[in-house]
Amino acid sequence: MEEAGVTGEPMGSEGRQEAEAPGPKGTDSTVWVEGLVEDLLAHPATDRQVEVVEAQLDRFPRGMVAVGARCVCGNPLAVVTRPRLPDGTPFPTTCYLTSPEAVKAVSRLEADGSMARYTLLIGQDARIAQEYARAHAVYLAFRHALADRLGDEEGRIAGVSAGGMPIRVKCLHALVAQSLVMGEGVNPIGDMALDRIRTDFDPSVCRCADPWPGLAGRQSHEGGARLG
């Protein structure tokens, strides 16, 4: 199966209606989440993609549904994992960061105390707090739609998103993964973290140690981040 190269840009919003949270600002939440899940399930993970992610993580990516965001060269940056792993284990981190370059850059942010500063910002800035709460709601709606389509039971992870949402920051990797999979404007903290690591990691600039063969620079017809 031929792999389609895509950029790290968010999916276009053509045809979407304005609505309040949960959902990216200026979109109808239900339509948007269902559309995102449809896009992902229409492009399930291939054997080659699973092999690449296994090499990135140094372990087999259990429950991997699809590549959620990709470098311009075609390498996976973040994957989408089903809510219940094949062995029955509940798995709340639906958007999972896999790019070694991104993981290292985000880890440096975490090491410099950024999580505490972002948590403080959420407590002090009402707009950021509202947007962060919206990101939490979007995450839950996305995982619920995915669970519904896959027949997974959410059980113990119902109401639990990732990264410390909705009131604090405890894992920037999870928040950056959400920003990569869902696009800019969904998670304000994930977006801020991506901006801060831009010199070390940028989804629109390939810095992969091992780029995807033959796909460097190819763009999708939608300019989306998630199609596989």
Residues 6 or more apart in contact with residue 154 via CB below 8 angstroms: 83, 84, 90, 143, 144, 147
The predicted structure's pLDDT at residue 225? 43
**What is the arrangement of strands in the sheet containing 95-97, beginning at the earlier edge strand?**
64-70, 76-81, 95-97
The pLDDT tens digits for 213-224 are: 754 444 332 333
How far apart CA 144 and CA 123 sit, in angstroms, is 28
Percent of the chain with pLDDT over 90: 77
Collapsing DSSP states into helix, strand and coil, what is residue 93? coil
> Between 104 and 228, whose confidence is greater?
104
- Under 8 Å between Cβ of 179 and 119: no
Range from 12-26, 81-95, 108-122 carrying the lowest mean pLDDT: 12-26
- Under 8 Å between Cβ of 43 and 34: no
The predicted structure's pLDDT at residue 174? 98
pTM beyond 0.85: the answer is: no
HEC assignment per residue over 11-24 = CCCCCCCCCCCCCC
Geometric angle at alpha carbon 183, from 199 and 157, rounded to 5°:
110
- Under 8 Å between Cβ of 222 and 8: no
Asked if pLDDT for residue 191 goes beyond 50, the answer is: yes
The predicted structure's pLDDT at residue 39? 92
Residue 79 Cα distances to 94, 118, 131, 138, 172, angstroms: 8, 24, 23, 17, 15
Asked if pLDDT for residue 145 goes beyond 90, the answer is: yes
The mean pLDDT of 151-179, rounded to a whole number, is 96
The predicted structure's pLDDT at residue 23? 53
Q: State the amino acid at position 8 in one-letter form.
A: G
- Measuring CA to CA, which residue among 150, 88, 171 is closest to residue 160? 171
Q: What is the mean pLDDT of the chain?
A: 85
Asked if pLDDT for residue 228 goes beyond 60, the answer is: no
